[in-house]
Amino acid sequence: MKKNMGPTDKALRLIIALIIAGLYMTNIITGNIAILAGIIAAIFSLTSAVSFCPLYAPFNIKTRKAG
């Protein structure tokens, strides 16, 4: 598994995950929407941690600089 995410991409995903967590903690989002958003936040956090996005691979998208 080659890394295909750059630092800006990783940072944006983590920020979005934190925003979703904040919305959930303040009860702004609830119910099924909160579950779906939580799953998305977990995926964003995981992909940021490993620097690899499986959806980028089939389309040969790389936000990481070569080298």
**What does the pLDDT look like over 6-16, one tens digit per residue?**
999 999 999 99
For the chain, what percent of residues have pLDDT higher than 90? Answer: 91
Ordered by start, the domain boundaries in the chain are 11-52
What is the pTM for the complete model shown?
Answer: 0.88
* Distances in whole angstroms, Cα of residue 1 to Cα of each of 5, 13, 65: 12, 19, 16
Mean pLDDT across 27-42: 97
The residue count for the chain: 67
Whole-number Å distance between alpha carbons of 6 and 27: 32
What distance lies between CA 9 and its chain's CA centroid?
9
Mean pLDDT across 48-54: 95
